[in-house]
Amino acid sequence: MNNARHVFEPLTIGPLTLRNRIIKSATNEGMAPQGIPSRQLVKLHAALAEGGVGMTTLAYCSVSPDGRTLPGQIVLDASTVPHLRALTDAVHRHGAAASAQITHGGCFTFLRERSTPRPLSSSGGFNKVGLMSGMWRKQAMTEADMTQVIGQFVQGAELARAAGFDAVELHMGHGYLLSQFISPLYNRRRDSYGGSLENRLRFPLRVLRAVLEAVGNDLAVICKYSITDGVRGGNTAQDGAAIARLLEAAGAHLLVLSAGMNVESITTMFGSSFPKENRVKAGNPLIGMAMALQRLKEPEVVFRELYLLEHARKVRAAVKLPLAYLGGVSSLEGIERAMAEGFDAVAMGRGLICQPDFVNRLSQGLARHSGCTACNRCVAMMYTPGGTSCVLGPAGDPVLNAQPAAG
């Protein structure tokens, strides 16, 4: 497309300049046994960097032990910094940037051991996620809780900087804690943190401003959020545009435009249904049950490229800050179309899991389409000994996945 900015041009976001416009989006890797980043995790992100991405994103780095959704997730603390430094050094050797997705799960957690009697959330009461783990109740965050969690996000961002990351991505979507404030599906508060969209954004914006103040001169500060919750009673794409305006006003350097919720609307997130039969089974029975329930409750959805474009356009029309389109990019034509629509970058998940060298293949004229079939089986591979991989290729190495990155 003649009016598309070229995918291989540099992109500046805050203090960071990327070598091109393709970002590996955060996709849970299953490569941190006991919460320690593994050599397999380093190998994965090094391969993505060597394969040509402008930036690769390490998924779900929790800002506290309570913020994890599952065992085996990274907690940003002093003990993980040397292992994370091994990852960022490997990424930098291949000329790419590294981003750490920092977040807190709130009531979206399957871990019973925590410092509070019940999982924290925007509002208290019945916890539908807890039906699978016995934590049927959640507790509304107090001002003291918010202050503590803001401090944890700041500390997490500072540790990410110490570990050599070039960016941090605040996860404000998919039903995690910050999303639980933003979405009316979860936020039923009657104080200054509930009701209007501006009130529901008040706590997430406090987190964003604090992180920007702490590391924004050194790191790109990115926000990933759900443009639409994808379910009745949740935020719509019009709300998503209004959210973007508030994040822009607060100073975010880049928005990654996702959609959907982990519990209520996972097909909105992935743009296609999960297979009724899978080549792998989740080792955690709770996760297996959750996946089975998702297959039962949601209608069959057939994948189409750029499945979130109609929603993302509303955000592009509303703000001027850099935006990364996410949602079903699987070809050079799709990338160019997204850029012709005014998006500054594209974020890819499944396509790069399938082919970590896809960007190089595009730049060398060796490919125009990803080999990804959007079967979604890579999601369940996270629970295998080798971690996330494409079922069409070799599985992850369970030996490397058992070895600490800095060991």
What confidence tens digit (pLDDT) does each residue in 328-366 have?
A: 999 999 999 999 999 999 999 999 999 999 999 999 999
Given pLDDT bands bounded at 50, 70 and 90, which one contains residue 125? very high
For tokens 């598309």, what's the residue?
4
pLDDT score for 280: 43
Is the distance from CB of 58 to CB of 13 less than 8 angstroms?
Answer: no
Domain range annotation of the chain: 11-397
Is the per-residue pLDDT at 286 higher than 90?
A: no
pLDDT score for 304: 87
The mean predicted confidence, pLDDT, of the chain is 92
Residue 303: name the closest of 279, 336, 334 by CA.
334
> Where does residue 52 fall: left (phi above 0), alpha (psi -120 to 50 degrees), or beta otherwise?
left
pLDDT score for 274: 78
Write the pLDDT tens digit of every residue in 214-261.
999 999 999 999 999 999 999 999 999 999 999 999 999 999 999 999
pLDDT score for 285: 56
Is the distance from CB of 220 to CB of 183 less than 8 angstroms?
Answer: no
Alpha-carbon gap, residue 278 to 285, rounded angstroms: 15
Q: Whole-structure pTM over 0.85, yes or no?
A: yes
pLDDT score for 380: 87
Distance set, CA 196 to CA 223, 228, 371 (Å): 20, 16, 43
The sign of the torsion formed by the CA atoms of 69, 70, 73, 75 equals: positive
Given pLDDT bands bounded at 50, 70 and 90, which one contains residue 276? low
Write the pLDDT tens digit of every residue in 367-388.
999 988 888 888 889 889 999 9
pLDDT score for 1: 44
Given pLDDT bands bounded at 50, 70 and 90, which one contains residue 3? very low
Distance set, CA 65 to CA 1, 118, 148, 213 (Å): 47, 14, 13, 24
Distance between first and last Cα of the chain? 48
Alpha-carbon gap, residue 139 to 392, rounded angstroms: 43
Extended beta strands in 3-96, E state:
11-13, 16-18, 22-24, 55-62, 74-75
Distance set, CA 142 to CA 148, 189, 203, 282, 353 (Å): 10, 11, 11, 35, 40
pLDDT score for 279: 42
Distance set, CA 184 to CA 78, 105, 189, 199, 225 (Å): 36, 17, 9, 11, 14
Alpha-carbon gap, residue 91 to 47, rounded angstroms: 8
Give backbone dihedrals phi and psi of 325, rounded to 5 degrees, phi first.
-75, 135
What is the identity of the amino acid at 137? Answer: R
Write the pLDDT tens digit of every residue in 160-199.
999 999 999 999 999 999 999 999 999 999 999 999 999 9
Is the per-residue pLDDT at 290 higher than 70?
A: no
Catalytically active residues, by annotation: 176
pLDDT score for 330: 92
Residue 346: name the closest of 366, 330, 368, 357 by CA.
330
DSSP string, 174-201: BTSHHHHHH-TTT----STTSSSHHHHT
Q: What is the CA radius of gyration of the chain?
A: 19
Residues constituting the chain: 407
Architecture of domain 11-397: Alpha-Beta Barrel (3.20)
